[in-house]
């Protein structure tokens, strides 16, 4: 195991509990795909292995998500998508406080915190994990106006009506698409909760927008653009974070406007 040096000048996001944790990354990591990356964390005198995508376990440890992904692996996605969205609404003369945002895959509120910095006036988090909501309420209780634990592919009529009543005019989804955490069908359900003309801002691994895509998102986004459902305003390929070997992982940030609902026929 090896400790990674923190990036210079990056103090990471602020939360109420910033207890320093001892985290080790694997020394031999040459065969890992991003989906199987892990670290070891010293908790109660015992080293525990944590797979990066086991978010329920990571969120349960205060400060672990921030220290691992932002301090050690230098994640930049919330800042990038926030900047891109801010630039586009300013071009249109949209007041940030008028944004009513559905934050899909909200996790422990890092993206929501960035959206508040942009100036979003109303913000609702949705995540399938109860541990995510617990972490958000623990670490950033002031960020969300409401937070729902829900599977958007299996909403009850009452859950659907509650979300629809929020009158969303923006959707954010950061670093949560493409690895089966949020499938195309769940993204479609969230997209369709946003009013026509509303803002769509998300990030996704560059591979999932290429000819090598296995997630279905390359076909979905292309189909939405071709059908005039999504008008893409800006895209940016950027370094999402480092992998456990210290190599860059590249994602694409996209900001656009919704023109119509995504029909069932557009799903891959």
β partners of residue 24: 40
Domains parsed from the chain with CATH numbers: 77-266 (3.40.50.150)
Say what the pLDDT of residue 160 is: 97
Q: Number of helices and strands (H, E) in the chain?
A: 8, 10
Sign of the alpha-carbon dihedral angle for 184, 187, 192, 195 = negative
Say what the pLDDT of residue 200 is: 98
pLDDT tens sequence across 146-191: 999 999 999 999 999 999 999 999 999 999 997 778 999 999 999 9
Band of pLDDT at residue 51, cut at 50, 70 and 90: very high
| Cβ atoms of 179 and 53 closer than 8 Å | yes
How far out from the chain centre does Cα 194 lie?
17
State in Å, rounded, how far the first CA of the chain is from the last one: 41
Average pLDDT, the chain: 91
Burial of 112 (0-12, 13-18, 19+ CB in 10 A): buried
Q: pTM, whole model, 2 decimals?
A: 0.90
pLDDT tens sequence across 54-75: 999 999 999 999 999 999 999 9
Say what the pLDDT of residue 65 is: 96
pLDDT tens sequence across 94-131: 999 999 999 999 999 999 999 999 999 999 999 999 99
CA distances from 22 to 19, 40, 64, 87, 103 (A): 10, 8, 10, 38, 30
pLDDT of 261 higher than 70:
yes
Band of pLDDT at residue 263, cut at 50, 70 and 90: very high
């Amino acid at each position: 195991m090896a400790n990674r040096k923190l990036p210079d000048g990056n103090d990471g996001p602020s939360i109420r509990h910033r207890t320093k944790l001892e985290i080790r990354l694997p020394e031999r990591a040459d065969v890992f795909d991003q989906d199987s990356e892990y670290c070891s964390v010293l908790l109660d005198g015992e080293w525990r292995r944590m797979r990066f995508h086991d978010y329920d376990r990571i969120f349960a440890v205060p400060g672990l998500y921030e220290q691992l992904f932002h301090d050690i692996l230098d994640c930049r996605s919330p800042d990038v998508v926030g900047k891109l969205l801010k630039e586009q609404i300013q071009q249109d003369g949209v007041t940030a406080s008028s944004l009513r945002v559905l934050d899909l895959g909200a996790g422990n509120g890092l993206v929501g915190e960035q959206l508040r910095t942009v100036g979003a006036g109303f913000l609702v988090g949705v995540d399938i994990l109860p541990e995510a909501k617990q972490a958000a309420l623990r670490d950033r209780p002031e960020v969300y106006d409401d937070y729902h634990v829900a599977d958007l592919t299996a909403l009850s009529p009452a859950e659907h009506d509650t979300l629809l009543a929020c009158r969303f005019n923006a959707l954010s989804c950061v670093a949560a698409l493409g690895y089966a955490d949020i499938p195309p069908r769940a993204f479609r359900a969230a997209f369709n909760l946003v009013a026509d003309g509303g803002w769509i801002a998300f990030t996704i691994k560059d591979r999932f927008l290429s000819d090598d895509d296995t997630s279905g998102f390359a076909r979905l986004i292309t189909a939405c653009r071709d059908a005039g459902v999504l008008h893409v305003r800006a895209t940016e390929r950027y370094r999402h974070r480092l992998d456990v070997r210290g190599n860059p992982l590249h994602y694409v940030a996209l900001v656009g406007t919704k023109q119509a609902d995504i029909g069932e026929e557009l799903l891959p």
